[in-house]
Chain A
């Protein structure tokens, strides 16, 4: 169950009840790679509030690797959001276009076709808390910016077919079924149909769609959960999503650890520094001060990064998860206190490079 404090198309706080757990919103989702959050084994106490798992990660040349799909035996302890593909629009698979019964996916062993039956099996085996239903997006040349009129008609009918098929075979325990609303599918035909199927919406283009929907009298039900899987890699876009009214937002957590960044961002007091420490910098060679609550000296993490020791990324991933949790707590407080808009501007100015 999702209980928003506002049903308007604007910034809002709320509570998401998932599987006996309450997740306050806005909050964040972290993408996994092959069923695990990079660098984090499930025994670490500090885990992200939600993890996104993708069907395309569990395919090989032989099809779905179903033997590894069991919710209780995944190397993950966060509640799960599950999608077929990371981004249906980032896949110019001209040699393997979608069909009425299958979607083209990118796997570690090349392009494959996943039938809706397979996607359904994947969803049912993992029994996620939130299911994001895929939509049809045509294979395009990289230079093409729009989808032709006739193709939009086909895109609508095919996406609806997939949505109905997957909705009907959805795992019964999944609390939320999200349908994606790309700009091409924001027609009254599509919106009316999916409105009866889903209890949440997913957006792939950040706050642009949200802003447009807010101005549209035929907008879908504003009380439903709103998820943004958009990922520009910038924290300012995460803030823009929340400003537009997103409840759950995809955050590029792993990129920070991989770059050697230890986040220091604050929503309450932005601007004390640039928002991160690049622990690769030589200034940390002999730095004996501890990195926040990590228990480790900055100089030690610098050493591990220089020595290419994987423990560096584990420590940074844990630290950055904690900082993002604090950030979202502060965002929630600011919404309650009515200071979000002001603070958001200060945040974006202070951390424009992040």
Chain B
């Protein structure tokens, strides 16, 4: 196992925890948000800029890298780190999610996921073994098992079938991993919104003793109350000494509440995607810089923010003028939003270490909701872990 997980502090009220996750290419402080560089690049940023933001780990997508540059090239260059000149950690997904979300006519059998090649429409089969082979070629520090993904809102026997199949596929992934000494394979908990299935799945996955465990099958439009119930149930049933990765979560409120529920790792395309549409994340919420009210606004995006754009006092008016037309405002907003996410998690972590997480959560929500009419799902979820929003 090439991962050591050391909890350094626990919140005295909630299930929040701060830890160090030691990986082959350096330590990662958790709770952590991992930006998504789908095609081996974070949308206009250089690896040095990403490092300067303090990023210790980011995502690449196996499906996209498998198509382009392809496994042969990845093998030739020695993996994705060398390919993109990034010497810190990379996490890759299994490729299965893209099969289901991007491709029509994907069919799932016990062997794997059959889909039509986007190149020539010929049928192709992604098996657990093929997914791991691709991720071995990428050389990611954390690999995800191929799981049987069903839409979050699916109910009935298909959910249980997918859960058991995901367990069987994990066994095949473990067997297929050529580099367990340097590449960490994470299991993924499935079971939809059925809490009993989730508990069963946690027990099965924990028994396989993978270096870390992810909570999958969420962030698909489910009710936030249900999302919180599932996350909380899973963290109650997962080992204390392993990192817990909540897949596809990126909204600031979701991050803060999920940390309170005991999750450690998160990823989402939202902060970088929304940047390209002209939206900037701030502690007072997201602002759309295309809005006419910013035409004559000479203030930076957020006073006190440490990103390049805010440190240089580049005015909102500049973004209003140029966003959607040029690349530089997109890069600056990508830098800003990525900084915002990483810094949010650094602040969360420090508050846990100082045992002031409850204060932090209250300040965070009061900035976001000055009228203090907080969303009920957040109030209830936090109440469940002894944090009162007041």
Contact = CB atoms under 8 A, between A and B. Distances in A.
B318 A38 contact: no
5 contacts: A37-B328, A73-B298, A299-B73, A314-B327, A314-B331
Contact of B313 (A72, A303, A309): A72
A58 interface: yes
Given A34-B326, A35-B322, A67-B317, A75 B298 contact: no
Contact of B295 (A62, A309, A312): A62
A300 B84 contact: yes
A68 B85 contact: no
A347 B309 CA distance: 41
Contacts of B69: 285-286, 299, 303
A43 B336 CA distance: 13
Given A36-B322, A43-B49, A299-B73, A311 B43 contact: yes
Instruction: Report whether over half of chain B's contact residues are helix, strand or loop; otherwise say mixed.
Output: helix
Interface of B: 39-46, 49, 52, 64, 68-69, 72-73, 76-77, 82-85, 295-298, 300, 308-309, 312-315, 317-318, 320-322, 325-332, 335
Contact of B83 (A33, A67, A295, A299): A299
Interface in A55-81: 57-58, 60, 62, 65-68, 70, 72-75
Interface in A267-292: 285-286, 288
A108 B315 contact: no
Contact of A304 (B39, B296, B308, B315): B39
Contacts of B314: 73-75
A41 B328 contact: yes
A312 B49 CA distance: 14
Nearest to B294: A67
Contacts of B332: 41, 75
Contacts of A60: 295, 321
B346 to A, nearest CB: 20
Interface string A199-214: 0000000000000000
A300 B46 CA distance: 12
Contacts of A108: 325
B322 A34 contact: yes
A287 B125 CA distance: 29
Contacts of B77: 286, 288, 297, 299-300
Given A43-B308, A300-B85, A311 B321 contact: no
Contacts of B320: 65, 68
Contacts of B72: 286
With a 10 A CB-CB cut-off, give which of A73, A285, A288 has the most chain B CB atoms. A73
Per CB-CB distance, the 6 closest pairs between chain A and chain B, nearest first, are A67-B317, A310-B44, A36-B328, A68-B317, A68-B318, A34-B322
A278 to B, nearest CB: 17
Contacts of A66: 296
Contact of A36 (B68, B326, B335): B326
B315 A314 contact: no
A62 B321 CA distance: 12
A297 B83 contact: yes
Interface residues of A, number: 45
Q: Which of B42, B44, B76 has the most CB of A within 10 A?
A: B44
A40 interface: yes
A67 B39 contact: no
B335 A295 contact: no
Contacts of A36: 322, 326, 328-329
A215 interface: no
A8 B315 CA distance: 45
A112 to B, nearest CB: 14
A78 to B, nearest CB: 13
Interface of A: 33-44, 57-58, 60, 62, 65-68, 70, 72-75, 108, 285-286, 288, 295-297, 299-300, 303-304, 306-307, 309-315
A299 to B, nearest CB: 6
A58 B321 contact: yes
A195 B297 CA distance: 40
Nearest to B67: A307
A296 B86 CA distance: 10
A65 B317 contact: yes
Given A43-B49, A285-B69, A310 B43 contact: yes
Contacts of B315: 67-68, 70, 73
B326 A33 contact: yes
Contacts of B330: 310
A70 B298 contact: yes
Contacts of A286: 69, 72-73, 76-77
A42 B310 CA distance: 12
Contacts of A311: 41-46
Given A303-B39, A311-B41, A41 B335 contact: yes
Given A75-B329, A75-B332, 20 more contacts: A33-B322, A41-B308, A41-B328, A41-B335, A57-B321, A65-B321, A67-B297, A68-B298, A70-B315, A73-B312, A73-B313, A300-B40, A300-B85, A303-B69, A307-B39, A307-B41, A307-B68, A310-B44, A311-B44, A314-B46
B320 to A, nearest CB: 8
B68 A303 contact: yes
B46 A315 contact: yes
B327 A310 contact: yes
Contacts of B309: 75
A37 B82 CA distance: 29
Q: Which of B314, B325, B328: most chain A CB closer than 10 A?
A: B328
A300 B68 contact: no
A309 B39 contact: yes
A221 B295 CA distance: 43
Nearest to A308: B39
A23 to B, nearest CB: 23
A61 to B, nearest CB: 10
Contacts of B40: 300, 303-304, 309
Contacts of A306: 68
Contacts of A315: 46
A175 B354 CA distance: 54
Nearest to B44: A310
Given A70-B298, A311-B41, A315-B46, A75 B312 contact: yes
A288 B331 CA distance: 27
A40 B308 CA distance: 13
B327 A313 contact: yes
A67 B298 contact: yes
A59 to B, nearest CB: 9
Given A43-B49, A288-B77, A303-B40, A68 B328 contact: no
